[in-house]
Chain A
């Protein structure tokens, strides 16, 4: 039961201790601005780059799965990664880690937040933060596409999904479910036809 999402490519490192899992996700939660999507580059830095618990591809896959589970994306990513690495105890450690810093900061601010929002310097930092978050997401998307290699088909999917989402104000769940359906259909068609080349 240690590895329920074991179809994903594995990280090469040893399995982490629960305290380390908590600490890593607390670190990510403490600097998570701008919602779930901004979490990916932070996690790649911490969990993929620093700790080497997961491969970049495994992280992207967990992130995609997190979109089709109900609830807050950041919480889902923490739960999936924690469970992937250390079962249900890992899931609990990771999710407690990711919510700790926002929880503490919010409680500290709860008493003074009305006054705080009216401060001019606060407004300036928030105004500066918004384009920075936009840039962070843009850079992340470019990195994701570059990692895929420069194949035209992948670019087309990427641009098509972005265009449809923007034009139709699409719920992100639909493109993800469409990719799952297309993958299943491709598998079914491939299984009915004789193989032209051996699978790698």
Chain B
């Protein structure tokens, strides 16, 4: 019973204290998992890899898996919902406060500036991911090893820009093509 409260508290804390999601959450999740001895360092890295291969964000997958390990399926449910709960409260408060400003002309100005910022942020994440992926391949086999992942990345990007094919198909097609190319 107590362990359920510990899970709820730890994951609510992770949900509340991280702004910006993704990579920003990693250090805090790692610290909580190691401090409670819920995961070892190696297990944490494996979950990182696993959450790339399965749907869902890392923090969510971590909450589900750790909750299940520590306290069975009630633990999995409580840990997962606890992670989302602070966001729920914030979105509700945010909505109430921002309702007053909905017709303020400054709003459209801010949103017009936010769009290119989002494009830049997404491009930065993409380039960083490319660097990590290509770096791994380069270490494994030098320049020739880079050809296949580059082909996959450029092909998927082109398909997404073209916009006729579902991004899911582009993603899965890219993954299978990459796996197939690595067999050659």
Q: Do A and B come from one complex?
A: yes
A126 pairs with B109, CB closer than 8 A: no
B117 pairs with A64, CB closer than 8 A: yes
Contact residues in B for A171 (Cβ distance below 8 Å): 19-20, 24
Report if A20 contacts B (CB, 8 A): no
Kindly state the interface size class of chain A when it binds its partner: 35 or more
- A-B contacts, 5 of them at CB < 8 A, read A71-B90, A79-B84, A79-B88, A157-B113, A158-B120
Q: In the complex the two chains form, what is the Cα distance from A96 to B89 in whole Å?
A: 15
Residues of B within 8 A of A (CB): 15-22, 24-25, 46, 49-50, 52-61, 64-65, 68-69, 73, 76, 80, 83-84, 86-88, 90-92, 94-96, 98-99, 101-107, 109-130, 132-133, 148-150, 152-161, 163, 166-168, 170-183
Contact code string A13-56 (vs B, CB < 8 Å = 1, else 0): 00000000000000001111111111011100100000000000
Residue in chain B with minimal CB distance to A141: B123
Given contacts A72-B87, A132-B175, A184-B106, contact A137 B125 (CB under 8 A): yes
B96 pairs with A161, CB closer than 8 A: no
B158 pairs with A144, CB closer than 8 A: no
Contact residues in B for A160 (Cβ distance below 8 Å): 120
Given contacts A35-B58, A105-B55, A126-B52, contact A173 B98 (CB under 8 A): no
A183 pairs with B113, CB closer than 8 A: yes
Q: Which 5 A-B pairs have the closest CB atoms?
A: A128-B178, A102-B56, A139-B160, A132-B174, A161-B120
A41, A57, A63: most-surrounded residue (chain B CB, <10 A): A41
Contact residues in A for B180 (Cβ distance below 8 Å): 128
Pick the contact of B88: A35, A95, A128, A135 (CB < 8 A): A95
Given contacts A35-B21, A117-B46, A129-B178, contact A41 B160 (CB under 8 A): yes
Given contacts A103-B80, A133-B129, contact A70 B90 (CB under 8 A): yes
Contact residues in A for B125 (Cβ distance below 8 Å): 37, 137
Q: In the complex the two chains form, what is the Cα distance from A189 to B181 in whole Å?
A: 57
Pick the contact of A187: B98, B109, B114 (CB < 8 A): B109
Q: In the complex the two chains form, what is the Cα distance from A132 to B177 in whole Å?
A: 9
Contact residues in B for A143 (Cβ distance below 8 Å): 160-161, 163
> Whole-angstrom distance from the CB of A56 to the nearest CB of chain B?
10
Contact residues in A for B57 (Cβ distance below 8 Å): 32, 35-36, 72-75, 102
Q: In the complex the two chains form, what is the Cα distance from A159 to B104 in whole Å?
A: 29
